[in-house]
Amino acid sequence: MIANLLADLPDASAGEVFTELLERPGIRIERIVSRGQSTPEDEPMVQDWDEWVLLLEGAAGIRIEDSAVVALAPGDHLLIEKGQKHWVAWTAKDRATVWLAVHLG
């Protein structure tokens, strides 16, 4: 079955939408659609697994641990290692931001 990650995007204006695409032992792949969301400064995300993310569409800013916010454009990707505090500083408000997230471990 062929599917397109950018087709029929859900409305994420009220909150991010997470769609699981594949899950197998040791790996989970999901599409995340954002529109204007950010992580509260006092509530960093910390995970018990590595996460590789690829920005497919839109724009976002992300901050990991004590680093500065880095702007992401389509095609940019990064690895967030297990246990690292991280924040989505911003996502585009005028259009959907689409992420592909690969959770490892």
pLDDT value at position 1?
A: 84
Give me the CATH number covering residue 67: 2.60.120.10
Whether residue 86 lies inside any domain: the answer is yes
Domain that holds residue 67: 20-104
Whether residue 9 lies inside any domain: the answer is no
- Residue 103: C-alpha distances to residues 21, 41, 63, 92, 93 (Å): 12, 23, 18, 23, 26
Q: How many helices (H) and strands (E) does the chain have?
A: 0, 8
pLDDT value at position 37?
A: 97
Q: Looking at the 3D structure of the chain, how many domains does it have?
A: 1
Model pTM greater than 0.75?
yes
